[in-house]
Amino acid sequence: MLSFRTELEDLNNPIVANDIITLEKKIRLFREGKIDDEKFRSLRLARGIYGQRQPGVQMIRIKLPFGRVTTKQLRRIADISDEYASSNLHATTRQDIQIHFVSLDKTPELWAKLEQDEITLREACGNTVRNITASATAGIDPKELFDVSPYAYETFKYFLRNPVCQEMGRKFKIAFSSSEDDTAYTFIHDLGFIPKLQDGKRGFKVVIGGGLGANPYLAQTAYEFLEEDQIIPFTESVIRVFDRYGERNRRMKARLKFLLDEIGLPELMRLVAEERLAIKHKRYKIDYDSYPDPAVPEFVPQNPVTDIDEEKYQQWLDTNVFEQKQEGFFGVYVKLPLGNLSSDRARQFADIVDSFASTELRITVNQGYLIRFVRAEVLRHLFAALDKMQLAEPGFDSVADITACPGTESCNLGISDSTQISLALEKVIREEFPDFIHNSDIKIKISGCPNSCGQHGLAGIGFHGSTIKDKQGKILPALVVLLGGGKLQNGNGIISDKLIKIPSRRGPDALRLLLTDYEANAFDGEYYHDYFQRLGRNHFYTLLKPLGDITNTSPIEYIDWGQDNNFILHTAVGECAGVIIDLVSTLLYETEEKIAWSKEAIEKKLYADAIYHSYSAFINTAKALLLTKEVKPSTQIQTLNDFQLHFVDSGVFPFAENFKEHVLRINKNEPTEDFASAFLADAQNFMEQAFAFKNVEKVSA
């Protein structure tokens, strides 16, 4: 029985309410052992629910398109964190907010309360289109040709709950930069968009196939200019190809970058062009007014502010404040160590923003906040208010502003600490290299493992968690040091070069050596990546090599940052135990769901959606029958080929046509009512034949 009926009744969107009710039902079935653990994991991840390192609790990722959050929403999230989580709001490099230590059973209720302020969890995790990011300065950037915010928002809305991207092989990431400065790092995304004007028309340079992780790839150029009404049709076509041809069994190879590397850009673009006939919209007009303008206060305080640290205020103006393209207004960055803001401070922060700026904030890709539309007359007042809360630290996005993922604090994949070491490194910079708060070229980024959630793969100075064994076989927590990465211009970038592995406790010494060397050897105005290339990796390896020598170690080096005991390598464990499930039956049960969704979509005249649900039903049914022969295809295309080989060609399962060609009619037809209905009937007939075949096989056995 639902215990949060009131919250659901307050929602105006029946689709959202049904989504939340479905989650509650699936949790109940999972608890009863009626849903396989892997299938349930996929379902909950697609609803922003991520199992933590600590057994029995979840991390909840809140999806905030292009980092936009109003002060009202920020208060709502703070209240939710107090009621259900750990009273902390963690800003991520994908401009989300995460809360931790949430009970799985409370997640539907939590979600319902968030949706009352139009905040969603849907597709914040999982094999979906993840949060669509954009330059935090979009809309106020003096360098921008036009505001990319509506494009990011319309793309978010279009793909939310879209059938083409609910069960892909892996996640799919999209970014919009506000200018050629590329502050959204488009070059590390599956798709990246940089605004352009051509003959007075708006459009975008499009880059494709980038990604970090353990095997980073730089994106390639798909279009130098793609008209604005083509970005959503093109994106849908790319996603359909990725869904069909992308790897599914080998998780480490299941990103678009690997498919692009395998088949090449010309072939990928050919496959994308094949999808044009079947997509829902051949052109998609962007609504420039798709979300309300932020409220900007007229109030200007009359009392002068005199009781502030004038030197710190000037540093803050120099490093955290910039003039907007709107005359008389300023953007103000807030630097947050580790991206963390307690719920109490979040509410106070929201009050300050309401008093002195727009009600709309943006979360930045380096885990801070951007306050927008601050009048020149209130800058001192804003600084004074923020400084009382320790939120006016100078050096935003500088060497002293380190990006770090939560790592071993909560993530199952974390190997060694990435948070406490970050604070130790910031202390080194603050106390020993204070002038570096003015250096915004060198980015220091840390991840707890090679997967690069902290974006170490594009850092000037990067670290990721690892381990080292001494001669006695004892394990030390370690850091891999990477150097020379960075953002260039116009969708181009440089991947960091892996250099050496050192004990984690020697991280501050490594930073001292690197910054001292930079002070001594860099030319005036030289970018760090150019300095790294000029001196060569051997110079830096020689510099850091003594720190990698573990012939002699001290007891503290066997203890990770923030810990009291000797390091133990954590092995990720399942979040919940479950009974053994008949996977074939589970897949066929899901096929029935997809058939029902297809029928519902046809009733709503959503013919493209209906066709994709029917296509997914074909794939699911074929996978289920292949499992009976212990055949596990790695892609959807391979599923079609394998079914033809093992069932049709062998005469085991009578099928009048070539199975692959029969199913791939999906991209050979316009999404009309007639084709949607015919394709659904074929998918349903195939499912019924599969049920009958399975029952016969069961009796024969």
Residue 161 and residue 107 share a domain: no
- Greater confidence, 53 or 231? 231
Residue 94 and residue 25 share a domain: yes
pLDDT score of 578: 30
Strand arrangement, sheet containing 174-176:
133-134, 174-176, 191-198, 201-208, 220-227
What band does 576 get if pLDDT is binned at 50, 70 and 90? very low
Look at residues 63, 84, 115 and tell me which one is the last residue of a structural domain.
115
pLDDT score of 232: 98
Residue 515 and residue 421 share a domain: yes
pLDDT score of 490: 96
> For position 623, which CATH number holds?
1.20.120.330
Residue 142 and residue 223 share a domain: yes
84 in Cβ contact with 106 (< 8 Å): yes
Residue 233 CB neighbours (<10 A): 19
Mean pLDDT of 323-352: 97
Rounded Cα gap, residues 622 and 641, in angstroms: 10
577 has a pLDDT exceeding 90: no
> For position 151, which CATH number holds?
3.30.413.10
Average pLDDT, the chain: 93
699 has a pLDDT exceeding 60: no
103 has a pLDDT exceeding 80: yes
> For position 30, which CATH number holds?
3.90.480.20
pLDDT digits (tens, 9 = 90+) for 580-616: 335 777 788 789 999 999 999 999 999 999 999 999 9
pLDDT score of 370: 98
Mean pLDDT of 257-283: 97
Q: Is the residue at 577 inside a domain?
A: no
372 in Cβ contact with 333 (< 8 Å): no
Q: Which residues span the domain enclosing 235?
A: 133-274
pLDDT score of 129: 97
pLDDT score of 697: 56
182 in Cβ contact with 486 (< 8 Å): no
511 in Cβ contact with 428 (< 8 Å): yes
pLDDT digits (tens, 9 = 90+) for 20-46: 999 999 999 999 988 878 788 888 999
Residue 360 and residue 326 share a domain: yes
Q: Which of 563-577, 628-642, 671-685 has the lowest mean pLDDT?
A: 563-577
Mean pLDDT of 178-182: 97
Cα-based distances in Å from 608 to 516, 590, 615, 623: 59, 20, 11, 23
pLDDT score of 582: 54
Look at residues 274, 298, 328 and tell me which one is the last residue of a structural domain.
274
pLDDT digits (tens, 9 = 90+) for 601-657: 999 999 999 999 999 999 999 999 998 889 999 999 999 999 999 999 988 888 878
381: Cα within 13 Å, side-chain hemisphere: 17
pLDDT score of 303: 86
pLDDT score of 691: 82
Number of domains in the chain: 5
- Greater confidence, 44 or 574? 44
Q: Is the residue at 522 inside a domain?
A: yes
Residue 482 and residue 621 share a domain: no
Residue 107 and residue 78 share a domain: yes
16 has a pLDDT exceeding 90: yes
Residue 537 and residue 407 share a domain: yes
Q: Is the residue at 578 inside a domain?
A: no
231 has a pLDDT exceeding 90: yes
pLDDT digits (tens, 9 = 90+) for 311-336: 999 999 999 999 999 999 999 999 99
Q: Is the residue at 605 inside a domain?
A: yes
pLDDT score of 588: 81
Residue 534 and residue 408 share a domain: yes
Mean pLDDT of 353-365: 96
Residue 668 and residue 634 share a domain: yes
Q: Is the residue at 674 inside a domain?
A: yes
pLDDT score of 581: 39
Residue 542 and residue 591 share a domain: no
Q: Is the residue at 564 inside a domain?
A: no
Give percent of the chain with pLDDT exceeding 90.
Answer: 82
664 has a pLDDT exceeding 70: yes
pLDDT score of 700: 45
> For position 334, which CATH number holds?
3.30.70.3340
Strand arrangement, sheet containing 497-503:
403-404, 444-447, 461-469, 475-483, 497-503
Look at residues 558, 591, 606 and tell me which one is the last residue of a structural domain.
558
Closest alpha carbon to 110 in 190, 119, 298, 181: 119
Rounded Cα gap, residues 13 and 98, in angstroms: 24
Q: Is the residue at 124 inside a domain?
A: no
Contact residues for 635 (Cβ-Cβ < 8 A; gap 6+)? 169, 244, 245, 246, 247, 248
Residue 407 and residue 374 share a domain: no
What band does 296 get if pLDDT is binned at 50, 70 and 90? confident
Give me the helix-helix angle, 14-31 and 37-45, nearest 10°.
Answer: 150
Q: Is the residue at 573 inside a domain?
A: no
